[in-house]
Amino acid sequence: MSQQVEFKPPNGYEYVLFLSFDLDVDSAEQYRGSDPVALSRGRFSVRRGVGKVLNVLYKYGLKTTFFVPGWVASTYPQIVKVLADDGHEIAAHGYIHERFDEFKDIYYEDQLFRRMIESIETFTNHKPIGFRAPYWRFSKNTLSLLFKHGFKYDSSLMDDEYPYIIEKNNYFLVELPVDWRLDDWPYLEYYRTLTPRELLDMWIDEIEYARQNHGYVSITMHPQCIGRGARINVLDKILRYAVETKAWIPQGRVLADYVLENLLGKQCC
């Protein structure tokens, strides 16, 4: 059951920008058995993309959330360790970027959840408390498995413009909703319908709307996409605008705590 809550940013901030990165590397292409060129496109994130993203985040003093498939954590442990050691949150993103809506068997999906969690925990020394479904697709069992495995928040659903709380048997899961319009991938990589400059204009409009309505906006980026060439300037300009307009730019785990503590009146977990 979803609880209707009135979301407001913390005092001193005009709105919340949940900026997060999906570090897929070549997991989706490996899962599909893609060709070496497609694999190399994903690996760009490890060779160049993450470093360029971190340079921009460092410029603004930000520690953000990276959603990482378990297979990526075990295949590229150095890059995940760099992120974790630098204070960024490592959250879960499937094991090898599977499509969860294809899972019919809860036992199979439960085992995959265990493998995903164990891999992140092994390479970061922290059990992930945030989850984002690859392709933003759930099976009919995914939500109950998030409760079963003790996740604090999810960031996959698209049914609201504000964070909210899902309750089940007196357990609470924070939802940090997302939207395809606020994802770099379809516009710059998959359909390639916008230039980076057009994407920046659209995102600034969305941020401005959130600011004027004291709201929340979630922007998702992929280091292999936004880190390529001059596209990295989009990240820089988004953050410059957000800082100038008094955005709170928290990690997912910090935002989830805020939602629970302030909207549910509970001391979190």
Contact footprint for Zn ion (CB under 5 A): 22, 24, 134
Cβ closest to Zn ion, residue 117 vs residue 165:
117
Joined tokens for residue 53: 């993203």
Cβ closest to Zn ion, residue 112 vs residue 260:
112
Element (H, E) at 67: strand 65-68
**3-class DSSP string for 113-133:** HHHHHHHHHHHHCCCCCEECC
Q: Which 3 state secondary structure label does DSSP give 50?
A: helix
Q: How far apart are CA 115 and CA 99, in angstroms?
A: 16
With beta carbons less than 8 A apart as the criterion, state whether 178 and 136 touch: yes
How would you classify the pairing of strands 153-154 and 15-22? Answer: unpaired
How would you classify the pairing of strands 171-175 and 164-168? Answer: antiparallel
CB of 221 vs Zn ion, minimal distance in Å: 11
What is the distance of C-alpha 33 from the center of its chain?
25
CB of 234 vs Zn ion, minimal distance in Å: 18
**Greatest alpha-carbon span in the chain:** 51
Cβ closest to Zn ion, residue 9 vs residue 49:
49
Cβ closest to Zn ion, residue 165 vs residue 226:
226
How would you classify the pairing of strands 153-154 and 164-168? Answer: unpaired
How would you classify the pairing of strands 171-175 and 247-248? Answer: unpaired
CA–CA distances in Å: residue 73 to residues 25, 169, 218, 263? 10, 32, 24, 33
Please return the burial class of 205, using the count of CB atoms within 10 Å of its CB with bins 0-12, 13-18 and 19+. Answer: exposed
CB of 93 vs Zn ion, minimal distance in Å: 6
CB of 134 vs Zn ion, minimal distance in Å: 5
CB of 70 vs Zn ion, minimal distance in Å: 12
CB of 237 vs Zn ion, minimal distance in Å: 24
What residues form DSSP beta bridges with 115?
A: none
Cβ closest to Zn ion, residue 185 vs residue 258:
185
Cβ closest to Zn ion, residue 146 vs residue 247:
146
Cβ closest to Zn ion, residue 9 vs residue 69:
69
CB of 45 vs Zn ion, minimal distance in Å: 11
